Structure 1
């Protein structure tokens, strides 16, 4: 029996056999919409039309499944396209979802406003309160428990194994958004989750040059439903996007090492600064999820949130004063970004339980020299 390969090896080789025609080490981009058939219904390699299948996308899907230790990987045009397809596969009007009260604003918007308009209901709850989660589940009506850990933007850590146990006792599908951690740091399927969601735009792609999403599923029946919708609705990733994502994944592990070490140093610097009220980073011992993160993650990630004692005015001025930390949406690239959630990533949840305080700033810590990053932050921080 062949020895199971370690993560770094899998990230480089899974689904990446060399091109048999030329011997090219890197498989080519199959930039095609359709395929010549040998005869009517006799397809070459099973390929007919690229909405249904494309060798470049399929290589990424094989890689995604291998990274998360799952049976089925599916690649989509964006993270929200992946989420929408999963929701369509599981839910019908009148069904109910339980999700964290600090999920990504786009996920909540999709569930509340898009699927909500067709009769899907949701309850948001603090996922660290296991009893509250149990109480929020409606027997026979709740179909999904949606977990995001670490959460966006407040870096809450949820106990995947405990929540999966609660979900399975209730007979519901347990979904984990693993975007912030990436499979280099956390593998939710091994902790009991049924489905893993990624915005591959973020750490998997890693270079802020591609849009994509992914689902990794172990259940054959659910995977068949999602695969049908992927074909029938068409939210697939394009060949070039799939190829760029594969290229990014090859360096995922080494990038995550630097993201983590840089973020730890920056979190400790910010935690000691007089202008900062709170630093939200699971690598700090004072973080309420620190011990749990140590158990279910192999690193604390590259995302930090901080609140300012000076309120919204101080937070906004800080966001507009950094240089290496560029003011932008998104996260997970090699370059450092700063974000003001109240009016950017989480603007859609203003006035709801998920509203982000206006003194909160989110940092996506890149892989630049950490001394330069700290100097950039120090120059932008309030002097008093």
Structure 2
């Protein structure tokens, strides 16, 4: 069954009593027991809730995993995964990843004895060279934030397996609609469900999917123990959003290619990072391994003074954090999403003072192009 169909069908099996096609929001903290030593399968919403379970079962099916887990935010989801590890454990990590993830690693979990080495995960030799005896996992973004490099997951999975490491893939930018990391050898996928999965810039959430039942049990132990779970109302909003994932991403991508092509020809734009362009270094690999190129674009303007002009003069495009919603958003990574990455690393990666990141929405592409044109040229 195609993922678009599976997504639309999420929750249809739940309410057999009334036949509701929308899963109910079980807005309850606790559940009554039918008898001593008996349970309906639900006892306390931190441990399990029918609305949240509908979402968790749904993302597990879309991703091809054995079990899904829903958290209050994407950062909470990654935090839950880090609970699997012990002081002294080491990770090899994508170097140009989301700044909030970098902050979590270096400013929170470092104090608990976890260490992280940042490398270009599109360079298999560099990844292999960074592995130490104490390395326990590779943490990669399948499409990196903000420079849009594409990881060769089967190659990384082969390396991880040969060294006895877990491969954790943050697949936020692509979603299961375009890429299923577990099919390509990853052990765990993680998502900021706030982004494309929910799709409407109206809720926060994080999702995790595990490939192995024993690993899933460990993840559940920490999810339940720590308690950073997704509330029923937010679970329902993400289910609602996921039902239109396929049609939204089709439009997102169609718009992104048009806009990236236009930006690529504009005299005030010096560089465009978008893997859907044939000149992108990972275009062919992504064409082979992914169902599409996503809808994130990063581009550099020819002068720092133009950054503020573009951010403030766009009328349809909002100068705002986040990404993946139906509305087009633009950010300045150096001082917003990636401010917590050390300046020397930002400089080496090219996260500089002329780089803008565009999350392309589903508005009319010609209207978005006109908005960019007047901001660039005004």
Q: Specify the TM-score bucket, using the shorter chain as the normaliser.
A: over 0.9
Q: How does 1:1-384 map to 2 (within 5 A)?
A: 5-44=1-40, 46-89=41-84, 91-139=85-133, 141-310=134-303, 312-354=304-346, 356-382=351-377
Contact 2:334 2:346 in 1 (8 A): no
Q: Which runs of 4+ in 1 moved over 2 A?
A: none
The alpha-carbon deviation at position 93 of structure 1 amounts to 0.8
The alpha-carbon deviation at position 18 of structure 1 amounts to 5.0
Give the whole-Å Cα distance in 2 for the aligned partners of 1:37 and 1:358: 59
Contact 1:16 1:59 in 2 (8 A): no
Structure 2: gaps (5+ residues): none
The alpha-carbon deviation at position 316 of structure 1 amounts to 2.5
Structure 1: gaps (5+ residues): none
Deviations 1:250-300 (A, max 9, x none): 000000000000000000000000000100000001111101110111111
SS of structure 2 residue aligned to 1:227: helix
Contact 1:78 1:213 in 2 (8 A): yes
TM-score by length of 2: 0.97
The alpha-carbon deviation at position 364 of structure 1 amounts to 0.3
Deviations 1:295-328 (A, max 9, x none): 1111111100001111x22222211211111000
TM-score by length of 1: 0.96
Contact 2:328 2:358 in 1 (8 A): yes
Contact 1:70 1:218 in 2 (8 A): yes
SS of structure 1 residue aligned to 2:177: coil
The alpha-carbon deviation at position 76 of structure 1 amounts to 0.5
Tell me: CA distance 1:350–1:325, structure 2 relative to 1, closer, same or farther (3 Å).
Answer: farther
Contact 2:11 2:23 in 1 (8 A): no
The alpha-carbon deviation at position 206 of structure 1 amounts to 0.2
Give the whole-Å Cα distance in 2 for the aligned partners of 1:25 and 1:281: 38
The alpha-carbon deviation at position 350 of structure 1 amounts to 3.8
How many residue pairs end up in the alignment?
Answer: 375
The alpha-carbon deviation at position 354 of structure 1 amounts to 4.1
SS of structure 2 residue aligned to 1:320: helix
Q: Give the alignment's Cα RMSD to 1 decimal.
A: 1.1
Contact 2:11 2:22 in 1 (8 A): no
Deviations 1:18-46 (A, max 9, x none): 522222121211000001111233112x1
Deviates most, 160-169 or 5-14: 5-14
